[in-house]
Amino acid sequence: MKARTAALAFTVSLALASSALAQNWQILEGARPGEPTGAVSPAQPFAAQEQPAPTQEPPVVAQVPAQVPAPASAPAADQPMPVIDETALRYFASQGDTRRLEIEIARLRALYPQWTPPADPLAVPENVDSLLEAIWMLYSQGRFAEAREAIATRQMNDPNWEPPVDLLDRLTLAEARERLVNASNLDQYETVIRIGSSNPGLLTCSEVDVLWRVAESFAMTERQGRARDAYRYVLTNCDNTAERLATMQNAAQLLSAEMRDELLALERFDDAGAGEFAPVRDTIARDALAAAGEDDTIVVDAETLARVERLARQGDGGSDARLLGWYYLGHDDAQTAEEWFRMAFERKAEGDAAEGLALALIALDRFADAEDIVYPYRDENEERRGVYLAASANLLAIEPRVVLSGDVLTRIVGEVAEARNAPAAQQLGWYARAYGQHETAGQWFSSALQFDPEDEASAYGLALTRFQLADAAGLAELKRLWAGRSERIMLVGTPQAEAAPAPPSLAPAVSPSPASAPAPAPAQAAPLATTEPMTTPLAYTAEEPVQQAPPQAAPVMAAAPRPRAIQQAPARATGGCTQTLNPESLSPASALARGWCLMDINRPLEAAKAFEVALRGQGDTARDAAYGQSLAYLRAGLVDEAAVAAASAPMTAERAGELQANILSERASGAFEQRRYVEALMALDQRAQIAPERNDLMVLRGYAYLNLRRYGDAERVFQAVAGTGNRDGLRGLAAVREQTGRQR
């Protein structure tokens, strides 16, 4: 009875679905609906509820080929019932293969409408032809070549024997399906389409996998309309819920949004109103939110937001909540972002949620909470470390200054030293000054300048500190280095200097650098637990000298990378170039003046653009512009661009030599940082041919030799540096002796 009931259920949909198959394949092949193609018989049957074949055995296609037409009308009552081959029916029943049994019943009912399936297929008389039984068994096992060979052998032994047409048709379809699947697996899309169009018996609901492969082939050959029609055929005619959902998921990945939405309209709903394509709609909503989280110019609609919010609340994971957090954070709603990131973090404490939560807290001026949240995850990647340093720098910059515990200060100090982060080091300098620790402040300002030699705010803090410590020589040297670049540094210690105002609090997640001078030291000293970590000297030497940078070679060390949470704020302008202006609107002479003004306020990339316009001038204007653009690119760390700019216009031998020396210095530094020590030495050798080698570059040379284990050369260089009284030379000698001692 089970087989009979299944057969009746299939028969109801056969006539309508067969007509739909014919029309859909005509569309896929480019013919207009209703026009004859000869590809599919309008009454061709198909199994509407067949499940995909198990992966452990080859799929069996139980279809009637196109060349076997269904009867145009029921046979007359007085016509005898044709002999029906029920061998396959009995065989599938004996194997307990109910899926194939149902397909076979549907096939026979479509061919012979007056035929009634047996109540008990096992009672069908067994085929007395044992050789034919063996061929059917080979077919059912997917051994098609062996079945063909067995047929040929029997025909050779018995010329009067003819194999059943049904068996031959089945073999033809099965072999075609095998070829189509192989072509699909090899991305031979045109072959897939050709085989499918030649074997329409494969393009039915019983072969949904084949329909998927054909649709994919159309999509991958830029025929999305035909791909859509193939998917639409499944969604219009096939009833298996899992296959319909998988069809929509495939279509959503390959089709345009417009075509995808067209297919979504074919969704079916249960009695409770739940749609079968809900997982697809969920994925679409998540993808839209993720894209908007990466691009803050994208605004998602309220329905999409509501859908993801519902998913976040209903689920027990944190991924949807994180998506919402990043979206709201990127769209300037830090309060809402904090709520979603906190939900995600409480469900699963992990780095991505901690990073987002910390950024939201920074935007809400809750810097202590942000530092505490992201600290355990700071080492997971550079961006997360940047967020931690941003939180720390903002925490140190709070006005009035907060008293931090010894543990918090200790870990901030350690992270800033390890990361060589100039903005955070600068804030440690202002923090120490606020509590009257001027020597410690000087150390931190000096360290910040080692990490970023162009950090004007740190140089200003160091100038103030040297003035307060009565270090006249140190202040004079600093003024010499910043002459023409910082007016306020030049005024430190002069009657014209104004009283130093308190630095404003930092803009959340924007810049850990104050835009003006720090506050005077408070009358009341900070607790010992607050100031003690600041006196800890910075240690840049490592136990293992190999793959380490020279400890005090500031000019050759690149500034620490600034993640999105730390963007250096420009120094306060001294001229009239603080406003954004397109230099294309200026004359070459005006653009040249603007370029130098922008260099004065440390905006080298903008200066480079201004110099580019000035290069259109003549004579000295062009020469000065080429020189200025080279300097701007060098300051921005763009060494190759600087070299190109230096050759863009003739300049004096003095300037050309200066630029070439600076370019080679930067190349040596860059090669060293990337551990290409031989290239660093080559650049230093080239530079030594045109300019004397400074102590800092000699230290770099020594460490390059040390990393290459050329201990004799390293010792010779460090001895020469140490002979000038330079401490870096002494440290280098100690590193050589420690390394060679370890080698012994």
pLDDT of residue 505: 35
pTM for the whole thing? 0.52
Does one domain contain both 545 and 588?
A: no
Q: Please check whether residues 647 and 689 belong to one and the same domain.
A: no
Please report the pLDDT score of residue 126 as a whole number. Answer: 56
- Of 67-76, 434-443, 625-634, 730-739, the one with minimum mean pLDDT is 67-76
> The tokens 């279809």 sit on which residue?
63
* 341 in a structural domain: no
Give the pLDDT confidence score for residue 426 in this predicted structure.
93
Q: By C-alpha distance, which of 735, 739, 741, 738 is closest to 718?
A: 735
Residue linked to tokens 């355990």: 376
Domain boundary among 617, 651, 685: 651
- Provide the 10 A C-beta neighbour count for residue 541: 17
Name the residue with higher pLDDT: 257 or 545. 257
| Domain presence at residue 611 | yes
Count CB neighbours of 66 within 10 A. 19
Amino acid 515: pLDDT: 29
Cβ count within 10 A of residue 4:
15
Q: Let me know if residue 589 belongs to a domain.
A: yes
> Are residues 602 and 554 part of one domain?
no
Strands (E), 507-624: none
Task: Please report which confidence band the pLDDT of residue 516 belongs to, taking 50, 70 and 90 as the band edges.
Answer: very low
**Who contacts 55 (Cβ-Cβ below 8 Å, separation ≥6)?**
none
| Tally of domains in the chain | 4
Domain-located, residue 382: no
Q: What is the pLDDT of residues 381-393, one digit of tens each?
A: 999 999 999 999 9
309, with CB counted inside 10 A (0-12, 13-18, 19+), is: middle
- Do 508 and 644 lie in one domain? The reply is no
Instruction: Note whether residue 374 is domain-resident.
Output: no
Single-letter code of the amino acid located at 464: L
pLDDT digits (tens, 9 = 90+) for 78-99: 566 666 777 777 777 777 777 7
Residues 623 and 737 placed together within one structural domain of the fold: no
What's the rounded Cα separation, in Å, for the pair 116 and 602?
91
Mean pLDDT of all residues belonging to the chain: 75
The average pLDDT across 321-339 equals 91
Judge if 684 and 635 occupy the same domain: no
Q: Annotate 622-689 with DSSP letters as a single string.
A: HHHHHHHHHHHHHHTT-HHHHHHHHTSS---HHHHHHHHHHHHHHHHHHHHHTT-HHHHHHHHHHHHT
* Cβ proximity of 705 and 515 under 8 Å: no
pLDDT at position 26 is 45
* pLDDT at residue 16 greater than cutoff 50: no
Tell me the C-alpha distance between 697 and 291, whole Å: 46
User: Do 643 and 530 have their domain in common?
Assistant: no
Closest Cα to residue 700, out of 730, 660, 729, 737? 729
Q: Which two tokens stand for residue 232?
A: 């639409």
More confident site: 578 or 149: 149
Task: Report the alpha-carbon angle 126-127-132, nearest 5.
Answer: 140
**The domain boundary residue, chosen from 213, 231, 264:** 264
Same-domain pairing of 565 and 579: no
* 640 and 705 housed in the same domain: no
Residue type, 734: A
Q: Which of 20-34, 182-196, 324-338, 523-537 has the lowest mean pLDDT?
A: 523-537
Residue 412 lies in a domain: no
What does the alpha-carbon distance between residue 2 and residue 23 come to, in Å, rounded to a whole number?
32
CATH number at residue 719: 1.25.40.10
- Type of residue at 589: A
Share of the chain above pLDDT 70, in %: 76
pLDDT category, 535, cuts 50, 70, 90?
A: very low
Residue 669 has pLDDT above 80, yes or no: yes
- The pLDDT confidence band at residue 459, using thresholds 50, 70 and 90, is very high
Cα–Cα dist 423/566, whole Å: 8
In a domain, 53, yes or no: yes
Least confident of 355-364, 487-496, 536-545, 621-630: 536-545
CB 235 within 8 A of CB 263: yes
Instruction: Output the pLDDT for position 446.
Output: 93
In a shared domain, residues 31 and 167:
yes
399 within 8 A of 433, measured Cβ to Cβ: no
Cα separation, 422 vs 706, whole angstroms: 27
Do 562 and 698 lie in a common domain? no
Kindly report, residue by residue over 226-254, the tens digit of the pLDDT. Answer: 999 989 998 988 888 888 899 888 888 88
| Domain assignment present for 317 | no
pLDDT band, very low/low/confident/very high, at 343 (cuts 50, 70, 90): very high
State the residue range of the domain holding 470. Answer: 429-572
Of 229, 228, 186, 234, residue with least CA distance to 210: 234
- Can you tell me whether residue 16 is helix, strand or coil? helix
627: tokens are: 């020189």
User: Per-residue pLDDT tens for 602-617?
Assistant: 778 888 888 888 888 8
Q: What is the mean pLDDT of residues 530-534?
A: 32
What is the band of 368 on the pLDDT scale with cuts at 50, 70, 90?
Answer: very high
Picking from 600, 616, 651, the residue at the C-terminal end of a domain is 651
Residues 537 and 629 in one domain: no
Phi-psi region of 350 (alpha: psi -120 to 50; beta: other; left: phi over 0): beta
Here the tokens at position 240 are 């298996």
Calculate the alpha carbon distances from 97 to 56, 109, 121, 723 in Å: 14, 18, 12, 92
User: For 703-714, how does the pLDDT look when each residue is reduced to its tens digit (9 = 90+)?
Assistant: 999 988 888 888
- d(CA 576, CA 393) in angstroms, rounded, equals 30
